[in-house]
Amino acid sequence: MSITRTLLTAARSRGRRAAGRLVHRGWRWVQEVGAVSNQNPGPYRFGELGDGSKLAFPLGTVFNEQSISIGPFCIIGERVTISAGFLPGLDLGPEPIVRIGGGCVIGRGSHLVGHQSIVLGDNVWTGPGVYITDQAHEYRDTELPIGKQWPRNEPVEIGAGSWIGTGAVILPGARIGRNVVVAANAVVRGEIPDHSVVAGAPAKVVRSWTEDEGWQPPIRYDAPRPLPEGVTAEQLRALVGWDLHLPGEQ
């Protein structure tokens, strides 16, 4: 009996391993087929979806995508919500409500919720779970439930090259400059100058750069080692495994 049980246990274990491999292979196939690009748009008709851009599957909530513009070579992570307007099916006019520049990376589980104007410049990268919105709830009427009061909108702009850390919240009216670092879990409102680091809730500038003084306070750790001289773009692409060619190019 013990030999029989051992054989049955071994057979079940092999079966579970085989089933696990099949499940993961099947899920990878679903992710590949379900990813959205301009070559494979699925049910979505974005105002613009640039060459080389991809929205990973499964997507978050996406509606009124005709008012959403995504530039080339963007990576939109899994379960990212990108929405325009209050409800699906709205005609929001010819201009995009949410504009994402080229080369942007939006971390998984993030939310871009636009009603008037959200603009991300080129090469804006975010960590996971970032929330960006141009609309705030109104609460001044003390008799009416807050959720039923007409909200207020203020445009949001994030400058090219900026990095938005995990869990950050970008509030209506925020205007973030170029190459700004927003620390994890920061809550940002108002004007943020170029080349600065902000942290906290509400976020405050904790480090900034000027041509005359450099970084203040000074950065106290060594800079990353640069790439060796003579490294070609092709070698770099092979190293990191990215294919940055436009579809159809060799």
Coil, strand or helix at 137: coil
Peptide bond into 145 cis (omega under 30): no
- C-alpha 216/C-alpha 135 separation (Å) is 33
Catalytic residue among 115, 137, 195, 245: 137
Q: CA torsion angle for 20, 26, 32, 35 (degrees, to 10)?
A: -100
Query: Do 35 and 65 meet the contact criterion of CB atoms below 8 Å apart?
Result: no
Helix or strand or coil: residue 178? coil
List CB contacts of 199: < 8 A, sequence separation 6 or more.
182, 183, 186, 206
The burial class, CB within 10 Å (0-12 / 13-18 / 19+), for 82 is buried
- The reply to whether 137 belongs to the active site is yes
Question: From CA 154, how far away is CA 36, in angstroms rounded?
Answer: 30
Catalytic site positions? 137
